[in-house]
Amino acid sequence: MNYRTALTELYTPGTAITARATTALTRGQFVAVVAGDDTSHPNVAVCPAGDRPFGLAHLDADTDTLVGIQRGNGRCFRVPATGSITAGAHVEVGADGTATTHTTGEVAGTALHAATDGHVDITLA
């Protein structure tokens, strides 16, 4: 029998992956992939406002430590929020990697409930 080498799957969408925090992160902050020294893990930092996020920090993390990143369309999480957000509104990345009502940035998710500063439950886009 002749076996062929299968494609190597690096990450499965919708699961947590491990990344290297290049800046301090707070649980639930949106993160983005950035340049860094770790070639075994993606390097992440707080996602800039309006950008498309890579995922969410699973735990608080110090600079240069490994941290789980939650990803996947349709997954639901309670995340830090800024401003008033209505139920069903699209959210984007706001200041300091928080969720805020979508205006001109990339849609990061949809609010499941109304919220005002603090936290909001979202489903990821």
Q: How much is the pTM?
A: 0.89
d(CA 11, CA 7): 12
33: its two tokens: 């992939």
How do beta strands 109-111 and 99-101 pair? unpaired
The closest alpha carbon to 57, from 106, 97, 109, belongs to: 97
pLDDT per position in the chain (125 positions), as tens?
676 766 666 666 657 899 999 999 999 999 999 999 888 999 999 999 999 999 999 999 999 999 999 998 888 999 999 999 999 999 999 999 999 999 999 999 999 999 988 999 999 99
